[in-house]
Structure 1
Amino acid sequence: MEKTVLNYSIKGGVFHIAWNMVFVVLGIYFLSIINVEKITFKFGDLILPIVAVLFIVVYGKKALMTLFNFHKKIIFSQEGLELNEIFYEWKDIIFPRVISKTEHTAKYNLSYKEFYLTFVYKQKTIEIKIDDYDVSENEIKELLKEYTPKFTPSTMSENKIVYQPIHDFDQIITLDEYYDLEYEESEEAIKDIQKLAVKDLESVKRFCENNIYAQPDKVRFVYYALSEDEDLDKWADFLSDEFRRVYQIGLEQNKVKELSSVINEIIVETIDSYPAERVREILLKGLDYKEFETRLNALEFLPDWINEQVLKSNPSIVSKLRQKLKDPEWKIRWETSKLLERNKIAFESLSTLDKLRRFINP
């Protein structure tokens, strides 16, 4: 059986361990210069021992955890995807793709991009950081095209798809057709959509409005192509408005599940804008719907539109999420608690029974 194995980056891991060991050694040094006989329980005398122990414990733990990561692998095969010894069958994987996130370190006031392989598996979003492995984001995209059944050209067809440049809306291809293209052609297809949007964004908007049901796969590709632009902020307002518009239609027509596959292709990095705020408003509205699947769907989309800063400046969102900790459905309560925890928001702990349920109903 053909497989492609991607190993954990030894180079990156060794660097991470070495960096943490610097602080461990520093902690040991601090301990070595402490005169134990003269130490008292005054606060001033305890600062250095406390700092030393924290350095050793905290950074030693980080180094040890990195060491345990060396066995991790990503394995692509025709049957599915194995991530760190957990196997996911292709038939249960939805929307596999590579996304980028802008990370920020408050300590050094630096911003940088991290790439992730992400997909939805049994209503749960899985993310794994690509930069931790010996592979680039483009190589992951190629592997997805090669191994994912829905992206693999049919063996029954002898005619290879030949890409025709997109100059107008009648020539827009579907997302599946895009995945059947060679890498160079797929990049050209994305650029062609972006050129159409630069030339006449209003026409692109009308195309999406008129074809959300008639040609949803083509609309998906439009959203995907604009979300792939390196200058993502260029389309942030448009994509945010489109997400809100389509999701609103889904709520009004009780077709959220059907339309989710379309707007799932939308990725927006700028989430502190007014259009992004309106997206959050409509998702919070979805959290109050009677149907369980609608509430869960809104909860699954919400992490893409919030972060710690957004929650700190929007107490109403935090209040709404805390209310969902009392939702009658266990899955809603559990996912809400994880969302609050990831964003470092204090909340009342779930019951012991709820915590045990995650092992019974993963």
Structure 2
Amino acid sequence: MTVLGMASAVAGFIKVRYLMDKAMIDNVIFRAHYRVTSAILFLCCIIVTANNLIGDPIQCINDRGVPGHVINTYCWITYTFTLPHEQNKVVGQEVAHPGLGNDYQEKRYHSYYQWVPFVLFFQGVLFYVPHWFWKNWEQGKVRMISEGLRGLLIGEKAEREHRQNRLVQYLVETMHQHNTYAFGYFICEALNFVNVICNMVLTDRFLGGAFMSYGTDVVKFSNMNQENRTDPMVAVFPRVTKCTFHKYGPTGSIQRHDALCVLALNILNEKIYIFLWFWFIILAVLSGVAIVYSAAVVTMPTTRETILRRRFRFGAPNAVDTIVRKTQVGDFLLLHLLGQNLNMAVFNEILDEFVRRLNFGSNSNLPSAPSTIEMTPIYPEIEKFGKETET
């Protein structure tokens, strides 16, 4: 299977969902975790395992005392090493390659390259976990109660109005029963932020403590004079390393064979991790902003009022005040998610009718809705949700 074929299998994570049976149950930052980031990590995993991009991931040269394929396999499955004290010396004059010299010094061993695809795949799964939790907590509520109202407005007007009335009645009858629903969403949103921070720490530990400052070091390197700079990526992902192979000689004595190994795979690893450094930083900032936004929604009714006023156009006066005053956070979240899935005109009609139901029997200038509407659900799941929330 070609790299392009494998990469196309990952494209489903980030494709835009226009299908009628799909409902959006989160915001764009939430989706950036489980769609975009997971897809990026899975794609990187595929790239580093595609040998046809760079050839063999490791090739070693020695004194011909050991067959080439043997020394290549041995050094790949064990480890190679560099010498930190030889890292910043002039190549071609003081050292043959950065980090190489005599072996009577402190050694830095490298075996992480064996685990890079596994770690990338594991991280991709971690970024999908919060969405999996939320999807199971949500249980398709938004999809079921908005069935037949999402997408293009095709069909008879009477049928659409009938569905809208059923949805409004469900919202009225289950008011103040969605706080647990909202609690699950906000917990998963906080889990996204914790997850990206933990992934940064995990990557830093995996790369021997070099990841946290990796991006800033690369930026500084790019701004330095061409003749007086040392590539920090070579220190983290060395392209040439040393490997030692021991074997028995003809008389039974132990012979040592030194080899220089070219790690072609690191030319991909260094680019992948510099991109991930910047992406994780951006994602962590956006996730932090999302948490602050959610905290404001939970603790400040004025925030909910501002969101409703800016996003939706109401046909009735004082409609926003009525919704904010008579609903709770769980009700607001459900309305917000419905607004993401319904046509704007349809959703405004639903909100206007919802406000009229809330004001029924009160001293309001709004026209009253009929006192009873036959509740024969188009989808039995609506009744199911009402009963579950009551219990």
Q: Which has the higher strand share?
A: 1
* Structure with greater contact order relative to length (CA < 8 Å, sep ≥ 6): 2
TM-score band, normalised by shorter chain: under 0.3
* TM-score w.r.t. length of structure 2: 0.24
